[in-house]
Amino acid sequence: MIRIGVICPSEIAFRRFMPALQQARNFEYIGVAAALYCEWTESGQASLNKSTIPSEYEKACHFAQTYGGKVFEGYENMVSSNEIDAVYLPLPPALHFKWAEKALRNGKHVLVEKPSSTSLSDTTKLVTLAKNNSLAIHENYMFVYHNQLKAINAIINSGELGEVRIYRINFGFPKRDLRDFRYNKLLGGGALLDAGGYTLKYASLLLGNNSFLTAATANYITGYEVDMYGSATMQNPQGEVAQISFGMDNDYRCELEIWCSKATLTTNRILTAPAGFVPTYTIKKNQEIETHTLPADDAFLKSILQFEQCINNSVTRDEEYKLIEHQSALVEKFKELCRMV
């Protein structure tokens, strides 16, 4: 049995992680950690006023009332606890490196929300630390485990669509509350690290790990300190191309379009389908349009089960190390191409 704790009673932990964890037989939930104020200021957030720091203790108590377990006062107390074998880390991106590193140095396996960190150098340090201590670190891009991706790959490989001319992946959503960490540069905000990572990840899956970025643009809006939307082009050695776009000041879109020689396939919940949701796709052949269903799934549960495999299987663990570094390298290349600071 793998004893796991949650660092921070975040919305995604409460709404998505815990319901999925309850279905994972080989995990035992121990508790949730609430930050001490000093743990935020020591994490490079010294310019934040105390009044802007969310009070996590009350949220953690509500978390415990709903899901059981104990409340750890302070993240440090959780990562150093001998009651814990693994941690789920759904903090803002700028805090991932610090707390993932502390957890790994205390012998804990780490399931970290995307992105693994805010820089390739930090991600490489985490992977090296995990590897040297035979520990799992798993980046929670859960959509990659959804069965709809396999179904779409089968359609592509069947030849029904003909030869692929281009892939297009769009993921964006309207503005959220301005206090959201996504708009805070100190906390690792920005559209690239949030929405853009999804599109880069999926483009890499479609084109293969030998694909590369050829162009990238990050766009800013007056009054915001982070990138708000962006786009890029990826290519593989075979000449296949993917165009991606993303943003967090956008009309909601979560789409895949595959334009081919015989037909075009489109689907609109490719990255965010919740548990039990039945996605649909359309195939357009000139003026004829057909609509079909894709399989429902629980991608969050399957990502947790993949984390379990990383813990128990060294081959799976080594494969995950490579995937995490590859994803981080893509994000770093995007920054280089558009000279992001």
Annotation marks residue 114 as catalytic:
yes
Q: How far apart are CA 279 and CA 256, in angstroms?
A: 12
HSE-CB for 199 with a 13 A CA cutoff: 32
Catalytic residue among 59, 102, 108, 114: 114
Phi-psi region of 137 (alpha: psi -120 to 50; beta: other; left: phi over 0): beta
Residues 290-305, buried b or exposed e (16+ Cβ, 10 A)? eeeebeebbbbbbbbb
Eight-state DSSP code of residue 54: -
* Start-to-end CA span in the chain (Å): 43
Q: Tokens 């929300």 correspond to what residue? A: 113
Q: Tell me whether residue 163 is exposed, middle or buried, using C-beta atoms within 10 angstroms of its C-beta: 0 to 12, 13 to 18, 19 or more.
A: exposed
DSSP 58: H
What letter represents residue 174's amino acid?
P
Token duo for residue 145: 């485990």
The position carrying tokens 């994803």 is 327
- In the block, residue with structure tokens 């379009």: 257
Q: Which residues pair with 282 in a beta bridge?
A: 266, 291
Phi, psi of 230 (to 5 degrees): -170, 175
Nearest to 63 by CA among 15, 105, 135, 111: 15
Exposed, middle or buried by CB within 10 Å (0-12, 13-18, 19+), for 177?
A: exposed
Q: 108, 92, 127, 90: which is closest to 325 by C-alpha? A: 127
Residues with catalytic function: 114
